[in-house]
Amino acid sequence: MATDLSNGTSDEFSSVIPTIKFTKLFINGEFVDSISGKTFETIAPRNGEVIAKIAEGDKEDIDLAVKSAREAFDYGPWPRMSGAARGRLMLKWAELIEQNIDELAALDTMDAGKLFTRGKAIDIPHAASMLRYYAGAADKIHGDVLKMSRELHGYTLHEPIGVVGHIIPWNFPSTMFFMKVAPALAAGCTMLIKPAEQTPLSALFYAHLSKLAGIPDGVINVVTGFGATAGAAISSHMDIDKVSFTGSTEVGHKVMMAAATSNLKQISLELGGKSPLLIFDDADVDKAADLALLAILYNKAKICVAGSRVYVQEGIYDEVVKKLIEKAQNWVVADPFDPKSQLGPQVDKKQYEKILGYIEQGKKEGATLLTGGKPSGTKGYFLQPTIFADVKEDMTIVKEEIFGPVMSLMKFKTIEEGIERANKTKYGLAAGIVTKNIDVANTVSRSIRAGIIWVNCYFAFDNDAPYGGYKMSGFGRDFGSESLHKYLQVKSVVTPLYNSPWL
């Protein structure tokens, strides 16, 4: 089985575990207790121990945060600054993030079970890079001069949409925070952020750094709490102009209904996925197996675009199966602070048990368990890399998003069959293609109904490349200029022309 390094001990990595500094709500530039005075515990998935007690915000606290953001938008300097001035403060925030990279990476490791080494190398630097990317865009928000059909002069203005409510998930606490906050800031919006209840720590630290960077009070507000209370209050609030939500399709339905029955606020949804990876006969077997495992095991499969459905063309199917088993059993499952670890713990006990339930369901429905399928270690929420074969399209593990390290492995014959089966899902977030044939790559990438297609790579995200879903994976795009535009309103201004020699 996958290497088990006993998952560490609660104090083995104490030298890199920081003291928790911020546990209260951040509203109007200050850390405050919740109105109710209630708190909740945030739990370390690496060992099941309590990290800290966090202020539990609910509807009344959301009301305060919205009031703060509304006043900052209607009367404050942020939307009225030049884009260049906003960009300078965003750049300062990015510098502060880099100065605190060790502590921020450690917070996400403690709270979410993310690998500490990858947090330092990827997640936290990416948070800073997103701020810099959109800081550079803040002074490049332009409308158009319109060529009217009669004696009129017209132009468009791109104006900030207003107060934005961001609801972010627990799988990428830092990345998701800035994927939403950075473009909204560049656009001139004010906002409140509700981090997932499982992972509040880094969001509160980022709020502290925003204050140090000089972001005006009320522009950034962070309310920690639960989806059913704080999240629902954001979705239905009459004074929020837009909600940006990343999470499950089930909750996405609720967010959309709340927006429709309240003030018809705009929403963008990045929801679930059941992404296919198609490996064709001409692929390098060794590289294809590595890519397939990366696609399902990266970040413990806590990623909506995880390549959970792997289709292998029949000519190399047996070879790929052999390689996958061999390589999966060599993945190191260990404490996320351990530099040798490749696979950390699931985020909490509920998710851990849910994944084990899916594994049992897969066996019950007749899929063949090739490797894994069991807990790893003696404490914490660790699971072995798991691969199923002999999987049918109507099985639960193929149809439903597991959000865990469970691969469903299937065989196909023709390109047409591969395309048809890849599209046989209610989701449409991402897909991968492994082939040396450019014609196959072009045909398949244009035929799969998903928001992003990776050819001979996976998780190839970039600040310039828009990312979002088709079908029940949601709508709206993160990254790129599309993300900036979703926080802007377009206004047309028209005046008459008199005695002009031309239109």
- Three state DSSP letters for 439-469: HHHHHHHHHCCCCEEEECCCCCCCCCCCECC
Q: What's the CA gap between 188 and 161, in Å, rounded? A: 8
Nearest residue to 66 via CA among 237, 184, 181: 237
Amino acid 377: pLDDT? 86
Q: Measured on CA atoms in the order 214, 481, 195, 307, is the torsion positive or negative?
A: negative
Using a 10 angstrom Cβ sphere, with 0-12 exposed, 13-18 middle and 19 or more buried, the burial of residue 315 is middle
Identify whether 304 is a catalytic site residue: yes
Q: What percent of the chain has pLDDT over 90?
A: 95
Amino acid 378: pLDDT? 81
Q: Output the CA–CA distances (angstroms, integers) from residue 380 to 42, 357, 399, in the order listed.
A: 14, 17, 28
Identify whether 103 is a catalytic site residue: no
Q: Output the CA–CA distances (angstroms, integers) from residue 69 to 220, 382, 385, in the order listed.
A: 7, 40, 44
Q: Which residue has the tokens 């059941």?
A: 274
Q: How many CA atoms lie within 13 A of 27 on its CB side?
A: 22
Q: What is the mean pLDDT of residues 126-152?
A: 96
The model's pLDDT over 208-253, given as tens digits with 9 standing for 90+, comes to: 999 999 999 999 999 999 999 999 999 999 999 999 999 999 999 9
Nearest residue to 251 via CA among 170, 185, 183: 170
What phi, psi does 135 have (nearest 5°)? -60, -35
Q: What is the mean pLDDT of residues 327-347?
A: 96
Active-site residue identified among 189, 270, 360, 400: 270
Q: What percent of the chain has pLDDT over 70?
A: 98
Global pTM reads: 0.95
Amino acid 502: pLDDT? 83
Q: What's the CA gap between 428 and 331, in Å, rounded? A: 29
4 confidence band (pLDDT: 50, 70, 90): low
Q: Output the CA–CA distances (angstroms, integers) from residue 335 to 11, 15, 118, 342, 414, in the order listed.
A: 11, 14, 13, 9, 42
Q: What is the mean pLDDT of residues 289-308?
A: 95
Strands 3-4, 332-333: pairing kind? parallel
Q: What is the mean pLDDT of residues 440-451?
A: 98
* pLDDT, mean over the chain: 96
Active-site residue identified among 56, 189, 304, 401: 304
Q: What's the CA gap between 199 and 232, in Å, rounded? A: 18
Task: Mention every residue, 6+ apart, whose C-beta is less than 8 A from residue 440.
Answer: 280, 282, 415, 433
CB 270 within 8 A of CB 285: no
Amino acid 503: pLDDT? 79
